[in-house]
Amino acid sequence: MAAGAAGPGPGSGPGDSPEGPEAEAPERRRKAHGMLKLYYGLSEGETAGRPPGSDPLDPTDLNGAHFDPEVYLDKLRRECPLAQLMDSETDMVRQIRALDSDMQTLVYENYNKFISATDTIRKMKNDFRKMEDEMDRLATNMAVITDFSARISATLQDRHERITKLAGVHALLRKLQFLFELPSCLTKCVELGAYGQAVRYQGRARAVLQQYQHLPSFRAIQDDCQVITARLAQQLRQRFREGGSGAPEQAECVELLLALGEPAEELCAEFLEHARGRLEAELRSLEAELGPSPPAPDVLEFTDHGGSGFVGGLCQVASAYQELFAAQGPAGAEKLAAFARELGGRYFALVERRLAQEQGSGDNSLLVRALDRFHRRLRAPGALLAAAGLAEAATEIVERVARERLGHHLQGLRAAFLGCLTDVRQALAAPRLAGKEGPGLAELLANVASSILSHIKASLAAVHLFTAKEVSFSNKPYFRGEFCSQGVREGLIVGFIRSMCQTAQSFCDSPGEKGGATPPALLLLLSRLCLDYETATISYILTLTDEQFLVQDQSPVTPVSTLCAEARETARRLLTHYVKVQGLVISQMLRKSVETRDWLSTLEPRNVRAVMKRVVEDTTAIDVQVGLLYEEGVRKAQSSDSSKRTFSVYSSSRQQGRYAPSYTPSAPMDTNLLSNIQKLFSERIDVFSPVEFNKVSVLTGIIKISLKTLLECVRLRTFGRFGLQQVQVDCHFLQLYLWRFVADEELVHLLLDEVVASAALRCPDPVPMEPSVVEVICERG
Amino acid sequence: MEDDAPVIYGLEFQARALTPQTAETDAIRFLVGTQSLKYDNQIHIIDFDDENNIINKNVLLHQVGEIWHISTSPADRGVLATCYNKPSDSKVLTCAAVWRMPKELEPGSHESPDDSSSTAHSLELLCHLDDTAHGSTACVTWEPTGDGKKVISLADNHILLWDLQESSGQAVLASSASLEGKGQLKFTSGRWSPHHAGTQVATASDTTVRGWDTRSMSQIYCIENAHGQLVRDLDFNPNKQYYLASCGDDCKVKFWDTRNVTEPVKTLEEHSHWVWSIRYNHSHDQLVLTGSSDSRVILSNMVSISSEPFGHLVDDDDLSDQEERRPEEKSQEPPRDGVIATYEEHEDSVYAADWSSADPWLFASLSYDGRLVINRVPRALKYHILL
């Protein structure tokens, strides 16, 4: 409105001086424009469509803000030719005229608008004046209304207060009525058995009664209530004590009693006492099942029964207790834990007794299933009652049973091994009666080996049930680690192999060294068995075990090599013992033959003595026996016809060499010298030396022992001429037959030479037999 | 002299019999009897000069036959007994006799010229221990502590106690006992116990060891199956009265407590053939010497069952410097049972090995080829035992 009012002022300017200097009009217009623009917040540069390059300060710019007509004219005059001047003058005149007309039309238009605006304002002035009057009237009316309202309020105030008071009295009266009715209500509830309702009522009323007990009437009500409550409590307890109803009802009773404010401690003890009664009954029934004599139900049934009866009951008790007596805090929890521990302990004792009965049986799967159920069942109370350690105890029992099972299996394997040995003994004894010796030794060995292996596999399979995935306790650390490595691998398998070695070795130490209670064939067979174990079976069994029981335990286990070494040592000892026993048999024969004969007065030899033939026969038999189980072995390369060859060497040249000094009475020293020189070139013979695992070595050992015995016996006797000759014949005979058995036939020659030489020394009249005659006799015999 | 190298002496003949001169306690002297069927047999008296490592020998002729066993009187240095084969046409009979050496060979006349060794002396016969009814004599053993008048000989299955009567030159059979049983029972060896006032004798026959009371000539104890095979020799522990060692054809050496004969106290199995001889050291009974037909002599340390199981006992009133030494002694590892040394100088079976009666650290062994080897206990062990 103010702008509108100011507008006509400058607008009238151009109208006043339409013929003013041409330069002045645009300037003023521009001034007015600038002010307007200033008012509308537009910058000057934005409105003008000025060419961009022109200088806004240029005083010669007609449209510029700093236009200076004088400068402009001067410039025109100075610069332009006349014609152009003229043109610009006409142009200028034309522009001025156009501008004037524009201005005139603008003035007219604005003038009209101004007039209508003035009219409007005048009308408004009138209207406002009317409105002011009406507003005044309204104000007076409002004042009257306010006045009235205040008056009404003042009059109603009194009534309102009275109504409020009456409502309060009403509520109070209702409460009082409830209180007065409470005793009868409670009685009714108690009669109807709605104990819960009764306890709720009582709970609501208790605080009020407590507060107003100094008033006699309330006191009376309170007394009544207390009497009824006491009765209620008594009834509840009665119900609780009767105990016939199940655990949930009991829990309810206890809950109500707690709400009645009965002492929690006492209740909790009583609750546990009741629970104990019930659980003990369960235990008794379990114990009855155990029974001293009647046929116990199978272990699975037993654990099922125990699981559903006792463990289920315990679970219920525990959860109810924890719900009811949560307020009791750690002391209460401790009480429950102790309770669970005690009863759990008794339950475990029963279970263990039952499981102990199971130890003898062979059925592992049933036992494992029973253990699984037992363990699974105890998880729930275990979770509820972590403090009672039931789950741990259960795991412990399972572990113990597993350990005992391992022991049982080890025992079983040992028994199986011993059984095999007994079978072998019988098998060995039987054919002997039939007159044949050692047939089927290889089959016997195969039988023993396969039977033991199958036993081991069966045991492994049985024990493997303990670690099956679906069994609840298989993921316990014991079953993942120690059970596999220490229990199965070390305890069962390694333990068995060790005990097998020990059993076998015990045959070597048997006191009956004369012949011995152990048949030599058994020694041989065991030795081969141990050797087979060393080469293949042990590593096979252990690999099998490791595969079946993925051993994750880091505890050290016996390496295969140690076991193999033990088995090899056992095999070696057995074979050495075999050699000793067989050597002893033959050497006893030889000894008897030397000791019992009267060598001085014997006749000229016609035959090889029977005992020598027997020796050769026995050696051949042993050779066959050993050949059944052991490989041939290597012997020193000799010509195939060595018996012939060595015979000539032995009986002619060497014999002369050995015997000659004995005959020559001139030089007693020579005997020593020659025999000593001879010994320098022969190696010392270790008679009872350890043997290798092949036939030749075994036979060599036996023959060495026999011949050394012969030598020592010969040295203890004195020979007549024919006695010496008999020894000569015998030795040649042995030579003919024994060389083929030994690794180095030179050894046989050496020992037999020694025998003959010793016999010659022990003969006062040594006249050796002609080699050709010896040969003839031997070939005939 | 300070080296432990063995000293070797060679005899011309085969030999089995070896004994120290028991009554001699100053000079180291061994007697060896030879075995030859064709020549005159000899007894070599071998004196060992410990300081110079030299052997002196004297030879006595023993013309009656080859010597199977020899033993010397514990009382008289000049008296010895031999068991010898009497050559005959059809039978071999082993007899026993007691002899006296010529006077000049007794230690007193030690300085007799060495060149006399070539001339052989003869033994003087004191008496025969013969009773043809009793068969071949295997062994003669003297009463160890007596006056050299009592002798026991073992003939076949008889045990004979003789009373030597020097004056009359006769041996009187005082008492006898015999083994009864099936089969041919023969004594192989016997020893007279140095304990119990010389009333006990132990004998070996077949696999059994028996103890006898010389007063009643009755059996006191019997170790059945002492060895798996023949028992070859036995010896009493000189310091522990119930302890006895035996050896045999099962290559084992066993130690027994005669109060409990069911189990040996200890068993050694070191030899690889029959063990023919076993001897306790006279002073240090942990040292046990065995000879075997595997041509080896083995010296074993059986300290755990010896009379000095914890080493030498130091008396309390010993010198203070010994007190000071004691802690270091204790720090030493207690000696363990086992083989001390194996001597392999022999090339034939060793049938006899024995300790010197004069020097407890020295022993001799004899192999069949006539080689006598004198060895010493290793010095380190000797000092260990002494200190």
Tell me the DSSP string of A442-476. Answer: HHHHHHHHHHHHHHHHHHHHHHHGGG-TTSTTTTS
Q: Is A762 on the interface with B (CB under 8 A)?
A: yes
Comparing CA positions, the residue from B74, B95, B77, B97 lying closest to residue B143 is B74
What's the total number of domains in chain B?
2
What spatial distance separates the first Cα and last Cα of chain A, rounded to whole Å? 168
For residues A94 and A209, membership in a common domain is answered with: no
For position B284, what pLDDT does the model report?
Answer: 87
For residues A180 and A83, membership in a common domain is answered with: yes
Considering the domain boundaries, does residue B321 fall inside one? Answer: no
Indicate if the pLDDT at residue A583 is higher than 70: yes
Mean pLDDT (whole number) for A509-515: 52
Report how far residue A287's alpha carbon sits from residue A285's, in angstroms, rounded to the nearest whole number.
5
**Structure tokens given for B25:** 């306690």
Considering the domain boundaries, does residue B319 fall inside one? Answer: no
Contacts of B293 in chain A (CB under 8 A): 708, 712
Read off the amino acid at residue A641. Answer: D
Considering the domain boundaries, does residue A7 fall inside one? Answer: no
Q: Is B188 on the interface with A (CB under 8 A)?
A: no
Domain boundary among A192, A222, A237: A192
Which stretches within B120-243 are classed as H helix?
A: none
CA distance B173 to chain A (A): 28
Largest CA distance in chain A: 195
Q: Do A584 and B229 touch (CB under 8 A)?
A: yes
For residues A146 and A269, membership in a common domain is answered with: no
Of B38, B92, B349, the CB nearest to A712: B349
Report how far residue A653's alpha carbon sits from residue B262's, in angstroms, rounded to the nearest whole number.
54
For residues B170 and B190, membership in a common domain is answered with: no
Instruction: Give residue-wise pLDDT tens across range A85-142.
Output: 889 889 989 999 999 999 999 999 899 899 999 999 999 998 998 899 899 999 999 9
Q: Contact at 8 Å (CB) between A542 and A488?
A: no
CA distance A601 to chain B (A): 6
For residues B186 and B169, membership in a common domain is answered with: no
**Would you give the distance in Å from CA B281 to the centre of its chain?**
10
Domain span at B300: 179-306+333-386
Mean pLDDT (whole number) for A222-247: 71
User: What is the length of chain B?
Assistant: 387
Indicate if the pLDDT at residue A145 is higher than 90: yes
List the CATH number of the domain containing B228. 2.130.10.10
Q: Are strands B121-122 and B54-62 parallel, antiparallel or unpaired?
A: parallel
Q: Is B370 on the interface with A (CB under 8 A)?
A: yes
pLDDT band at A37 (very low <50, low <70, confident <90, very high): low
The C-alpha angle A314, A316, A319, rounded to 5 degrees, equals: 105
Most confident stretch, A30-39, A113-122, A629-638, B78-87: A113-122
**Structure tokens given for B289:** 């010497």
Question: Which residues are paired to B222 by β-bridges?
Answer: B210
For residues A551 and A506, membership in a common domain is answered with: yes
Residue A351, exposed/middle/buried by CB under 10 A (0-12, 13-18, 19+)?
Answer: buried
Report how far residue B278's alpha carbon sits from residue B266's, in angstroms, rounded to the nearest whole number.
14
Indicate if the pLDDT at residue A18 is higher than 50: no
3-state secondary structure of A779: helix
DSSP letter for each residue of A325-347:
TGGGHHHHHHHHHHHHHHHHHHH
Domain boundary among B157, B177, B197: B177
- Mutation test of the interface with chain A: which of B268, B346, B348, B372, choosing the one with the most A Cβ atoms within 10 A? B348
Interhelix angle A495-506/A560-595, rounded to 10 degrees, is 10
Indicate if the pLDDT at residue A36 is higher than 90: no
Residue A358, exposed/middle/buried by CB under 10 A (0-12, 13-18, 19+)?
Answer: buried
Indicate if the pLDDT at residue A17 is higher than 50: no
Looking at residue B206, the DSSP 8-state letter turns out to be T
Comparing CA positions, the residue from B148, B174, B171 lying closest to residue B161 is B174
Q: Is B14 on the interface with A (CB under 8 A)?
A: yes
Q: Which range has the worst mean pLDDT, A243-257, B88-102, B324-338?
A: B324-338
Which three-class secondary structure string do you get for A646-695?
HHHHHHHHHHHHHHHHHHCCCCHHHHHHHHHHHHHHCCCCCCCCCCCCCH
Contacts of B229 in chain A (CB under 8 A): 513-514, 584
Q: Is B30 on the interface with A (CB under 8 A)?
A: no
Instruction: Give residue-wise pLDDT tens across range A461-487.
Output: 887 777 777 777 777 777 777 777 777
Domain span at A471: 406-427+440-558
User: What is the length of chain A?
Assistant: 781
Q: Do A672 and B294 touch (CB under 8 A)?
A: no
**CA distances (Å), origin B319, targets A222, B308, B316, B385:** 105, 21, 9, 18
Of A511, A600, A665, the CB nearest to B92: A600
Residue with tokens 């009643």: B216
Q: Is A511 on the interface with B (CB under 8 A)?
A: yes
Considering the domain boundaries, does residue A400 fall inside one? Answer: no
- Which H/E stretch holds residue A235? helix A216-242
Report how far residue A117's alpha carbon sits from residue A639's, in angstroms, rounded to the nearest whole number.
158
For position B314, what pLDDT does the model report?
Answer: 46
**Would you give the distance in Å from CA B174 to the centre of its chain?**
24
Of A584, A665, A676, the CB nearest to B369: A676
For residues A341 and A475, membership in a common domain is answered with: no
For residues A359 and A250, membership in a common domain is answered with: yes
DSSP letter for each residue of B84-145:
EEE--SS--EEEEEEEE--GGGSGGGTTS-GGGGGSPEEPEEEEE---GGG--EEEEEE-SS
Contacts of A514 in chain B (CB under 8 A): 207, 225, 228-229
CA distance B121 to chain A (A): 19
State pTM to two decimals.
0.67
Read off the amino acid at residue A580. Answer: K
For residues B355 and B206, membership in a common domain is answered with: yes
Q: Do A708 and B273 touch (CB under 8 A)?
A: yes
Considering the domain boundaries, does residue A713 fall inside one? Answer: yes
Q: Are strands B200-205 and B208-213 parallel, antiparallel or unpaired?
A: antiparallel
CA distance B38 to chain A (A): 6
Considering the domain boundaries, does residue A332 fall inside one? Answer: yes
What's the total number of domains in chain A?
4
Q: Do B369 and A513 touch (CB under 8 A)?
A: no
Q: Is the pLDDT higher at A62 or at A435?
A: A62
Considering the domain boundaries, does residue B19 fall inside one? Answer: yes
Q: Is the pLDDT higher at B284 or at A42?
A: B284
Report how far residue A703's alpha carbon sits from residue A689's, in angstroms, rounded to the nearest whole number.
12
**Structure tokens given for A235:** 């009834």
Q: Is B195 on the interface with A (CB under 8 A)?
A: no
Considering the domain boundaries, does residue B205 fall inside one? Answer: yes
Q: Is A216 on the interface with B (CB under 8 A)?
A: no
Indicate if the pLDDT at residue B209 is higher than 60: yes
For position A644, what pLDDT does the model report?
Answer: 40
For residues A186 and A214, membership in a common domain is answered with: no
Residue in chain B closest to A719 (alpha carbons) equals B92
For residues A173 and A272, membership in a common domain is answered with: no
Considering the domain boundaries, does residue B316 fall inside one? Answer: no
Of B10, B229, B347, the CB nearest to A679: B347
Domain boundary among B140, B156, B177: B177
Q: Which range has the worst mean pLDDT, A4-18, A68-82, B156-170, B251-265?
A: A4-18
Burial A550-559 (b: 16+ CB within 10 A, else e): ebebeeebbe
Check if the interface score ipTM surpasses 0.90. no
Q: Is A343 on the interface with B (CB under 8 A)?
A: no
The C-alpha angle B52, B54, B59, rounded to 5 degrees, equals: 150
Mean pLDDT (whole number) for A253-269: 72
Tally of CA atoms within 13 A in the half-sphere of A616 that contains its CB: 18
Of B92, B207, B272, the CB nearest to A687: B272
For residues B249 and B264, membership in a common domain is answered with: yes
For residues B190 and B292, membership in a common domain is answered with: yes
Report how far residue B294's alpha carbon sits from residue B17's, in angstroms, rounded to the nearest whole number.
18
Q: Do A708 and B37 touch (CB under 8 A)?
A: no
Residue with tokens 């002599």: B297
CA distance A614 to chain B (A): 21
For residues A188 and A205, membership in a common domain is answered with: no
For position A170, what pLDDT does the model report?
Answer: 93
> Which A residues, 647 through 676, put their C-beta within 8 Å of a C-beta on chain B?
662, 665, 668-669, 671-672, 675-676
**CA distances (Å), origin B186, targets A585, A713, B203, B207, B214:** 21, 15, 10, 11, 19
Considering the domain boundaries, does residue A663 fall inside one? Answer: no
For residues B282 and B271, membership in a common domain is answered with: yes
Compute, in degrees rounded to 10, the torsion defined by CA atoms A390, A391, A392, A395: 120
CA distance A683 to chain B (A): 10
For residues B17 and B98, membership in a common domain is answered with: yes
Q: Do A668 and B12 touch (CB under 8 A)?
A: yes
Q: Are strands B137-142 and B124-128 parallel, antiparallel or unpaired?
A: unpaired
For residues B190 and B164, membership in a common domain is answered with: no
Of A601, A680, A712, the CB nearest to B274: A712
**Would you give the distance in Å from CA A771 to the centre of its chain?**
82
- Which H/E stretch holds residue B158? strand B158-165
Burial A674-707 (b: 16+ CB within 10 A, else e): bbeebbeeeeebebbbebbbbbbbbbbbbbbbbb
Give the count of Cβ contacts less than 8 A between chain A and B.
68
Considering the domain boundaries, does residue A393 fall inside one? Answer: no
> Which A residues, 694 through 753, put their C-beta within 8 Å of a C-beta on chain B?
708, 712, 715, 717-718
pLDDT band at B277 (very low <50, low <70, confident <90, very high): very high
Q: Is B92 on the interface with A (CB under 8 A)?
A: yes
Q: Contact at 8 Å (CB) between A611 and A590?
A: yes
What residues contact residue A548 under an 8 Å CB cut-off, 6+ apart? A460, A464
For residues B124 and B190, membership in a common domain is answered with: no
Indicate if the pLDDT at residue A3 is higher than 50: no
Mean pLDDT (whole number) for A522-545: 83
For residues A239 and A274, membership in a common domain is answered with: yes
Report how far residue A692's alpha carbon sits from residue A744's, in angstroms, rounded to the nearest whole number.
14
CA distance A399 to chain B (A): 43
For position A291, what pLDDT does the model report?
Answer: 64
Report how far residue B100's alpha carbon sits from residue B89's, in angstroms, rounded to the nearest whole number.
29
Report how far residue A295's alpha carbon sits from residue A289's, in angstroms, rounded to the nearest whole number.
9
For position B365, what pLDDT does the model report?
Answer: 92
Considering the domain boundaries, does residue B238 fall inside one? Answer: yes
Report how far residue B31's alpha carbon sits from residue B77's, in angstroms, rounded to the nearest whole number.
12
For residues B86 and B195, membership in a common domain is answered with: no
For residues B170 and B249, membership in a common domain is answered with: no
Considering the domain boundaries, does residue B312 fall inside one? Answer: no
For position A35, what pLDDT does the model report?
Answer: 65
Report how far residue B100's alpha carbon sits from residue B80's, in angstroms, rounded to the nearest whole number.
6
Considering the domain boundaries, does residue A143 fall inside one? Answer: yes
For position A266, what pLDDT does the model report?
Answer: 73
Residue in chain B closest to A580 (alpha carbons) equals B250
Contacts of B294 in chain A (CB under 8 A): 686-688
**Would you give the distance in Å from CA A219 to the centre of its chain?**
69
Considering the domain boundaries, does residue B224 fall inside one? Answer: yes
For residues A246 and A282, membership in a common domain is answered with: yes
Q: Is the dihedral of CA B267, B272, B278, B284 positive or negative?
A: negative
Mean pLDDT (whole number) for A443-470: 82
Sheet arrangement for strand B93-100: B67-72, B79-86, B93-100, B124-128
Mean pLDDT (whole number) for A370-383: 74
Considering the domain boundaries, does residue A639 fall inside one? Answer: no
For residues B138 and B185, membership in a common domain is answered with: no
Q: Do A688 and B272 touch (CB under 8 A)?
A: yes
Residue B175, exposed/middle/buried by CB under 10 A (0-12, 13-18, 19+)?
Answer: middle
Comparing CA positions, the residue from B116, B76, B119 lying closest to residue B99 is B76
For residues A501 and A616, membership in a common domain is answered with: no
pLDDT band at A765 (very low <50, low <70, confident <90, very high): confident
